Amino acid sequence: MMPEIPYKTYLAESEMPKAWYNVKAHMKGAHDPFLNPATRKPCAADELKRVFCDECVEQELNDADESIPIPDGILDFYKMFRPSPLVRAYFLERALDTPAEIYYKFEGNNTSGSHKLNSAAAQAYYAKAQGLKRITTETGAGQWGTALAMAAAFFGLELDVFMVKVSAEQKPHRREVIRTYGANVISSPSDTTAAGRKILAEFPETGGSLGCAISEAVEKAANTKSCRYVLGSVLDHVLLHQSVIGAECKAAFDKYGVAPDVIIGCCGGGSNFGGLIAPYMGDRLQGKNNIEFIGVEPASCPSLTRGKFAYDFCDSARITPLAKMYTLGCGFMPPSAHAGGLRYHGMSPIVSRLYNDGYIKAIAVEQKAVFDAAVTFAKCEGILPAPESSHAIRAAVDKALECKRTGEKKRILFGLTGTGYFDLAAYKKYNDGEMSDNVPTDADLQKGFDTIPII
Amino acid sequence: MMPEIPYKTYLAESEMPKAWYNVKAHMKGAHDPFLNPATRKPCAADELKRVFCDECVEQELNDADESIPIPDGILDFYKMFRPSPLVRAYFLERALDTPAEIYYKFEGNNTSGSHKLNSAAAQAYYAKAQGLKRITTETGAGQWGTALAMAAAFFGLELDVFMVKVSAEQKPHRREVIRTYGANVISSPSDTTAAGRKILAEFPETGGSLGCAISEAVEKAANTKSCRYVLGSVLDHVLLHQSVIGAECKAAFDKYGVAPDVIIGCCGGGSNFGGLIAPYMGDRLQGKNNIEFIGVEPASCPSLTRGKFAYDFCDSARITPLAKMYTLGCGFMPPSAHAGGLRYHGMSPIVSRLYNDGYIKAIAVEQKAVFDAAVTFAKCEGILPAPESSHAIRAAVDKALECKRTGEKKRILFGLTGTGYFDLAAYKKYNDGEMSDNVPTDADLQKGFDTIPII
């Protein structure tokens, strides 16, 4: 007999996961090491610790332990905005008239508006525990900057957020949330760093870029006493922190004695998808399940489906270590009309390796279809989704419609990473019928590939 | 022994209230009837049913039944965004170093961003059940318009939202959320109604007003087939729907065998406060508790603390029935520098009567102090509160600090009605040090009192 699944499942405080899930413990060999950009030799832990907090570096390099305990100070912080609900999308199922069961894990019910707070909480905690006074980061759209500002305020750390200038101007409200949490927002490029001054001298009118903002944040951290730099995606330790999403999903499903047949997540840098699938992927790698894992990326920035598996810089300014990952080239620029987020040129090394080894499928979806699904979802389920999350909604809806054709009662889980409250300019474009699809040509991609360094 | 209270309590689906709580059943006699604006005689049910949905009118006039069952169709909708969490504010308690226990009921975890959805869901359901095709309403800041758009989309109703022109222009994102849910947003005054055309002819450059938007929405409903008008606050049936907030609070506290000593809510039209206190107030009226109920209003719009208990129009355009309530006069305009919401000139007749009878205390707070409390709360508890809700936060913090001085371990509950994601222009003003307090002088108030009709 099928168990009765309520619309929402919130774990009780006592049921919340006490450990993160390190999927690398079950991957065949660690993924390829980071390379020092100057020497092109593997980065030593000490090199990384000059940039990142010590404990994050330890986690970054830990390929052995499946279970990594979450410190009490982070568990406390998690209680502020977790557990997130696992929702059975009964209304969406009804609207689609599908025999499939659709579930989503909703990570947007916090003021940062996304899952980013899971890692911000951890990284701010470790910075504080290490005795640091200050951290730096960059932010584009602003979700990560908001999340880290909340965490820094909670743990009493000073924070400098280098916000891409054009974003700071186009999204003044995001900037204001970050300021409200007490962080210092600096439009990038700025005259506060050598990197910023150099760009400003060359391109006085530039609106900035994530690459430039990363350069400034890293430089500021390196030149400031008791300070480190913090990154919100891509890296293994970020995926580790995000595994709390998957761990909560599994705990909730286990209560009902069921498991998903398909798990779907949107993929930008890969931290949400990697975190969502972690425990189920760990089981899969041990031959304990046969779940279909699907990463969804925008057709305009198709790193998994059309990229190359190669060493590349993590930033467009070419100052970070090199990572082995699926990449469109650190110089790739997604089409400017793209409104749907997930604009990163590369992909988490863990997700990249799992994809390369055949454990993950990837699909690319076009933005009009993404917003179609977003609006259907908003009307059925009452949550206005972030454009990024809506990539996963699109794929989940398509999978449910496929089940309608085949009659299969598959259990579909997708990650609803965030809300779209600060993305209404994109929704306006869609509502006004002014949204276009933007798929790069092979020639566009080749320009990006030409920027991948030859190792 | 004190029970262990978790950080958050979510009722299970099976524990969610199945009925609303009608506090009027325990009030000494019904409150004074609405008066027809033309005849100044009590409105008959049939008159009201030309404007409002039949079932809402029945509820409006029901002074007898304590418990009014929530129809299944509304219970289903409630599952989409309820239960809302009852949160023990451990982090705020720690920051204030108070012996008091602070709890808040958080109603902002839905896309409308506030408690308004509780009544929007009910009113849209009843419109649909009555066989209507269309509803109309007005919206100022946009929370109510968003809530009703969500409900109309869910139940498949057409919706016209008359949005105060200056709000539609200053808050284009709010407007866009409403459009995304499929509602028709009309900037008011518009040329689609006689009322709008009249105002436009007289004042071509006007930015509109809530009074004018109400006139247009009521006229549109009256002149449209299969259509009624829907209101988001003040009225008894709206407070009834909002009693789900208090009923969930009571169910959660009852699980732990405890009850609050103080209940605090912000007061604009009174629907949130009236809903929050309903079941506890019902017990109080029966002599079963001695809870301190505190309504908090802005010092700039002090209808309870400085208003008159009199018959007045519910709108500034003087087209609605007259209600007996605390009022500053339907022509009162709060100071323009006021950023904190709760700008309504009157107060729910139920709340007004309870206040007049001495069951409720009222305090007025100034806006800088409100934003101080909002930011403290945001940093401790992780939620950026709506300015409206922050009035309650201010009062709860002050009460907790009073307990610190006296050593009392009071249990304080306040209503956190919504999030401030669309109020960042106000936060910017605060962050930039440009927010001022604005308390009307006695002469300002007298101008408003002069607009109260003589009955």
Cα distance from B103 to chain A (closest Cα, Å)?
13
Q: Identify the pLDDT of residue A437.
A: 87
Q: Say yes or no: A155 contacts chain B, CB-CB below 8 A.
A: no
Nearest to B177 among A10, A109, A424 (CB): A424
Residues 6+ apart with CB under 8 A from A339: A367, A387, A423, A425, A426, A429, A430, A435
B111 → closest Cβ in A153, A154, A384: A384
Quote the pLDDT of residue A441.
94
pLDDT for B1 beyond 70: no
Is A424 touching B (CB cutoff 8 A)? yes
Residue B152 touches chain A, beta carbons under 8 Å = no
pLDDT at A301 > cutoff 90: yes
| Cβ within 8 Å, pair B180-A419 | no
Give how far Cα B264 sits from Cα of A40, A442, B397, B430, Å. Answer: 62, 62, 11, 24
Which pLDDT belongs to residue A207?
86
Residues of A in contact with B421 (CB under 8 A): 111, 113, 173, 177, 421-422
Pick from B131, B143, B136, B239: nearest CA to B184: B136
> Distance between CA A114 and CA B123 in Å, rounded?
31
- Between B87 and A334, where is the model more confident? B87
A421 — contact with chain B (CB < 8 Å)? yes
Binned at pLDDT 50, 70 and 90, residue A315 comes out as confident
- Over 50: is that where the pLDDT of A304 sits? yes
Residue A455 has pLDDT above 60, yes or no: yes
Nearest to A176 among B91, B150, B431 (CB): B431
Q: Which of residues 60-119 of B touch A (CB under 8 A)?
A: 79-81, 91, 109-111, 113
Which positions in chain B touch A6 (Cβ < 8 Å)? Answer: 12-13, 79
Mutation to test the A interface, candidates B4, B117, B143, B421, most A Cβ within 10 Å: B421
Q: What value does the mean pLDDT take over residues A32-60?
A: 94
- A242: which 2 tokens? 């995000």
* Alpha-carbon distance B33 to nearest alpha carbon in chain A (angstroms): 36
Statement: residue A2 has pLDDT above 70:
no
DSSP 8-class letter at A412: E
B177 has a chain A CB within 8 A of its CB: yes
**Average pLDDT in the A369-382 region?**
97
CA distance A18 to A10: 16
Q: How many CB atoms lie within 10 A of CB B280?
A: 23
ipTM: 0.95
Q: How far apart are CA A91 and CA A88, in angstroms?
A: 9
Write out the two tokens for A126. 């470790």
B211-247 tens-digit pLDDT: 889 889 999 999 999 999 999 999 999 999 999 999 9
Yes or no, beta carbons of A111 and B383 under 8 Å apart: yes
Q: Where residue A259 falls among pLDDT bands split at 50, 70, 90? A: very high
Rounded average pLDDT over B158-184: 93
pLDDT at B279 over 50: yes
For A145, the token pair is: 């900057």
Helix, coil or strand: residue A56: helix
Q: Is the pLDDT of residue A167 over 90?
A: no
Measured between alpha carbons, how far is A291 from A403 in angstroms, rounded to an integer? 16
Residues 6+ apart with CB under 8 A from B287: none
Per-residue pLDDT at B168 = 86
Cα A254 from Cα A270, distance rounded (Å): 25
Average pLDDT rounded to a whole number, residues A40-68:
95
**Tokens 């020092």 belong to which residue?**
A36
User: Chain B partners of A177 at a C-beta cutoff of 8 Å?
Assistant: 384, 421, 424, 427
Kindly report, residue by residue over B71-104, the tens digit of the pLDDT: 999 999 999 999 999 999 999 999 999 999 999 9
Residues of chain B found within 8 Å of residue A421, distances taken between Cβ atoms: 111, 113, 173, 177, 421-422
Measured between CA atoms, how close is A185 to chain B, in angstroms?
12
Q: Can you tell me the mean pLDDT for B260-286? A: 97
Do residues B326 and B303 lie in contact, with contact meaning Cβ atoms separated by under 8 Å? yes
pLDDT of A311 = 97
Cβ neighbours of A150 in B, within 8 Å: 379, 382
Kindly determine whether residue A383 and residue B172, on different chains, have CB atoms separated by under 8 Å. no
Structure token pair of residue B137: 């309403």
* Contact across the interface for B154 and A111, Cβ inside 8 Å: no
Weakest-pLDDT range from A88-97, A144-153, A225-234, B334-343: B334-343
pLDDT band at B2 (very low <50, low <70, confident <90, very high): low
Please judge whether B381 and A80 are an interchain contact, meaning their C-beta atoms are less than 8 angstroms apart: yes
Residue B373's nearest CA partner among B347, B334, B351, B399 is: B399
Q: How distant is the Cα of A100 from the closest Cα of chain B, in angstroms?
A: 19
At A206 the pLDDT is: 85
pLDDT at A317: 78
pLDDT reading at A444 higher than 50: yes
Per-residue confidence at A30, pLDDT binned at 50, 70, 90? low
Q: Distance between CA atoms of A61 and A240, rounded to whole angstroms?
A: 11
Q: How far is B351 from chain A (nearest CA, A)?
A: 30
Considering only CB atoms, B181 lies closest to which of A110, A378, A428, namely A378
> Which of A5, A78, A79, A181 has the highest number of chain B CBs within 10 A, making it the mutation to test binding with B?
A79
Average pLDDT for A24-52: 90
Please judge whether A172 and B379 are an interchain contact, meaning their C-beta atoms are less than 8 angstroms apart.
no
- Is B433 an interface residue toward A (CB < 8 Å)? no
Residues 6+ apart with CB under 8 A from A408: A99, A100, A402
Chain A positions in Cβ-Cβ contact with residue B378 (cut-off 8 Å): 111, 153, 180-181
As a whole-number percent, the residues of chain B with pLDDT over 70 amount to 99
pLDDT attached to residue A112: 94
Task: Please tell me the predicted confidence (pLDDT) of residue B455.
Answer: 84
DSSP B5: P
Looking at the complex, does the CB of residue A422 fall below 8 Å from at least one CB of chain B?
Answer: yes
Please name the member of B150, B181, B431 whose beta carbon is closest to the beta carbon of A180.
B431
Nearest residue in A to B79, CA atom: A7
Is the minimum CB–CB distance between A401 and chain B shorter than 8 Å? no
Residue A375 at interface with chain B, using a CB cutoff of 8 Å: yes
Measured at the CA of A329, the angle between CA A327 and CA A330, to 5 degrees, comes to 110
**How do residues A283-292 score in pLDDT, each as one tens digit?**
999 999 999 9
**For a pLDDT cut of 90, what percent of chain A falls above it?**
87
B180, B380, B430: residue with CB nearest A431: B180
User: Quick check: A3 pLDDT over 90?
Assistant: no
Residue numbers in A near B431 (CB within 8 A): 176, 179-180
Confidence of residue A73 (pLDDT cuts 50, 70, 90): very high
Of residues A317 and A346, more confidently modeled: A346
Measured between beta carbons, the chain A residues lying within 8 angstroms of B177 are 384, 421, 424, 427
